[in-house]
Amino acid sequence: MTADLAHLLDAERARFLAEHPRSVALAQESAHHFLFGVPLHWMRDWPTPATLFVREAQGVTLTCADGHRYADFCLGDTGAMFGHSPPVLARALAEQATRGLTCMLPAEQTAEVGRLLAQTFGLPLWQMALTASDANRFVLRWARAITGRAQVLVFDGCYHGAVDDTLVDLDTTTGATLRRPSVLGQVHDHHRFTRVVPFNDLAALEAALADQQVACLLAEPALTNCGLVLPDAGFWPAARELCRRHGTLLVMDETHTLSTAPGGYAKAHGLEPDFFVAGKAVAGGLPCALYGFSAEVGVRLRAAKEAAPEGHSGIGTTLAGNALTLAALHAALNHLHTEGSYAHMLAMADRLENGLNRLIAAHHLPWTVTRLGARMELQFMPRAPRHAQDVRDHVNDKLEALTHLFLLNRGVLLTPFHGMLLLSPATTSADVDRLLDGMAALVALL
């Protein structure tokens, strides 16, 4: 089987190279002045033998430099969850672009954007950043400042962006925190200040909180970055209660789980986090992130800032909250984060989930579809995982790479890294069927 997969993968690589001469040429040319030939080195983390260069992306149709068109289920790893360049957003950006981009002063729209944020996500107070990594970094700093506690807690397998404190792993035999070995240039002992527990493990969570040294639990409502891992029934209400009991703030990073329902997972499930973080798609894909917090937390943040000496707080960056981003956020909150958007996304997700499950059943495949709202993952394991180690135990790199490349060669883009599929308000039944046809062809071949 492994030899077969390698053989099939070689054939798909050859097909990609033959069909993408312009991308291949651009990859060579870009390598003269860009490290790895790309502006961000992750752009080489696709299973393609050469980088795929993009001519344009509109709705869920991405057109590559060779003129091939793809139905996009990666959607910029969630940045374009509401579709590429939604027309309402393009209009708002064009309008603001002639009226000032950044002033280090709030734009007139600020008060209204604040009202829309409170209405959309259910928390009363807000601050902005440019990336979800930054927003998480700033929240950790605030949480440590207002609790006076040094430790933070995350789940094994987490990803919250380029945030040093969270780039750690769990030693599953000793329970100790380990440096994540892939992280470059790491010199600080973050593992001294970050605790890690397995997802869905309330006993481990309680043990980590018991000494009341943990400032905050920073978590995605479901793990989405090491494969999709859903919370057990009752996990979050119990975890929420444990955090309250031990004076630990609950930070929900909804950068990906915004795809669950309007306003995100925590709002849909009445979780009442102390902080809420979102980035990527929150302003339709323009660089924008934000964090919201409760009124009670707001009082504590104000007191901490007022008690500190004048000078750098270590929180914020110059362009955060700029006028262009605010205009995009305003348009997104009014026109993208709507019941209508989600109704369509969820209907498309139903179609895809049902189709994949029919294929799995028809061929008795030991695979699982795990779904959260408009996001799902095809997992090459016979049941849904409960924690990160479960996912690691079932990794099948070759089959994953083959699935990506096979579908890409047939006009369908999946999220690299794992089999994540995201449905947008612009996704059509025909897009979904194209993916299902591609999967059926792959299964027939296997």
Ligand X SMILES: Cc1ncc(COP(=O)(O)O)c(C=O)c1O
Q: Smaller CB distance to ligand X: residue 131 or 151?
A: 131
Which x/- pattern over 126-165 shows residues binding ligand X (rule: CB under 6 A)? Answer: -----xxx--x----------------------xxx----
- The token duo for 67 is 């003129």
Among 149, 190, 195, 256, binds ligand X (CB under 6 A): 256
Cα–Cα dist 269/289, whole Å:
22
Q: Smaller CB distance to ligand X: residue 96 or 133?
A: 133
- The token duo for 265 is 């997972």
Residues of this chain, 276-295, that bind ligand X according to CB under 6 A:
279-280
User: By the 8 A CB rule, do 221 and 240 touch?
Assistant: no
Among 23, 255, 325, 403, binds ligand X (CB under 6 A): 255
Q: Smaller CB distance to ligand X: residue 93 or 228?
A: 228
Q: Smaller CB distance to ligand X: residue 159 or 265?
A: 159
Q: In whole angstroms, how close is the CB of 416 to ligand X at the nearest point?
A: 12
Q: Could you tell me whether strands 151-155 and 214-219 are parallel, antiparallel, or unpaired per DSSP bridges?
A: parallel
Q: Smaller CB distance to ligand X: residue 255 or 294?
A: 255
Q: Which residues of 383-402 are buried (b: 16+ CB within 10 A; e: fewer)?
A: ebbbbbbbbeebeeebbbbb
325 binds ligand X (CB under 6 A): no
Residues of this chain, 79-98, that bind ligand X according to CB under 6 A:
none
Q: In whole angstroms, how close is the CB of 14 to ligand X at the nearest point?
A: 31
- The token duo for 321 is 């909250």
- The token duo for 88 is 């309402």
The alpha carbon dihedral of 383, 388, 394, 397 has a sign of positive
- For 386, phi then psi, to 5°, come to -110, -20
Binding segment for ligand X (CB under 6 A), chosen from 99-107, 172-180, 253-261, 373-381, is 253-261
Cα–Cα dist 427/341, whole Å:
11
SS3 (DSSP) at 167: coil
Residues of this chain, 171-230, that bind ligand X according to CB under 6 A:
220, 225
Q: In whole angstroms, how close is the CB of 163 to ligand X at the nearest point?
A: 8
How many residues bind to ligand X according to rule CB under 6 A?
Answer: 14
Among 72, 164, 253, 390, binds ligand X (CB under 6 A): 253
Q: In whole angstroms, how close is the CB of 278 to ligand X at the nearest point?
A: 9
User: By the 8 A CB rule, do 359 and 439 touch?
Assistant: yes
The alpha carbon dihedral of 396, 401, 403, 406 has a sign of negative
| Contact set with ligand X (CB under 6 A) | 131-133, 136, 159-161, 220, 225, 253, 255-256, 279-280
